[in-house]
Amino acid sequence: MSKATFGAGCFWGVEAAFRRVRGVTDTAVGYMGGTLDNPTYAEVCTDTSGHAEVVDVTYDPDQVSYEQLLDVFWDNHNPTTLNRQGPDVGSQYRSAIFFHSSEQKAAAQAAIEYLNRNSRYRHPIVTEVTPASTFYRAEEYHQRYLEKRGLEHCHI
């Protein structure tokens, strides 16, 4: 199994999108990239901890490639808006790829270059590509949030 970690706005809908991918064996939502140890949702929402809301994806690379996971990432948020997704504003909602290997870093950077070069978006991609750091699992009520409410097929 391999790991991939993505920040693409509010983690509820992003997690639901990754859970639908064949080859994804598990997901967890949480926080990464900040300065506090064991941050709470309330602390992350202050936009002062430096953490992004992220989805930590466990996947089988024999069934799904990292590039395919990147496609899900691009398709489920707007990577051209800095520190916001829809009505959600703050650095905790930033577009971010937290890479776990040099291969993931190279794939993420190549995807950004390709998408910018081929004008998929009207504006340049502002997605942060940074090494994965400590993943802090979010509170239990956030895990599979939409699934628990029967909304896992909704785009939020």
Which positions are annotated as active-site residues? 10
* 3 state DSSP class of 53: strand
CA dist 63 and 7 (Å) reads 22
8 A C-beta contact, residue 33 and residue 51 = yes
The H or E element spanning position 89 is: strand 88-89
In 3D space, the residue among 18, 19, 22 whose CA is nearest the CA of residue 6 turns out to be 18
* 3 state DSSP class of 35: coil
H-state helical runs in the chain: 11-19, 41-44, 66-75, 102-117, 145-148
For tokens 């809301």, name the residue. Answer: 53
